[in-house]
Amino acid sequence: MVVEKLKFVEGVRPDVTADIVLMMCPMHLLTVEQKMKELKVGEVLEILTDYDGALEDIPAWCEKTGNEFIGIEDASNFFRMYVRKLSESHPDGKE
C-alpha cells in the first residue's frame, strides 16, 4: 500500500485549510485544486480527509501539478495532508 511510502510529519504550520472530510473522488481533488488557487507561491495547504483514496490521489496530484507534497499526519478520525504551492500555474498551462 502507498501509505508505507508516505512521509509522516508533525507540527507543519499551514496557511490555509481545506476540510474535505466525507468527500470522495472527484470532489476531493476539485476542492484541493480550488483552494490551491487561493494560495501564494510558497504557502502551505492543510488538507483534512478521511478518504483512503486521497492517500494516493493527493501525492499523485502534486506530482502532476508541480506542487510539493510535504507529508501526512495521522489524526484520530482523519488524515492531515500538507501541500506547498510551488508555482502559479500547472505544467500543462492551466491555472
Three-state SS at 83: strand
Q: Is 62 a catalytic residue?
A: no
With 0-12 / 13-18 / 19 or more C-beta atoms within 10 angstroms meaning exposed / middle / buried, residue 37 is exposed
In the set 2, 3, 22, 25, the catalytic residue is 25
| DSSP percent split of the chain into helix, strand, coil, nearest 5 | 30, 25, 45
Q: Which residues are catalytic?
A: 25
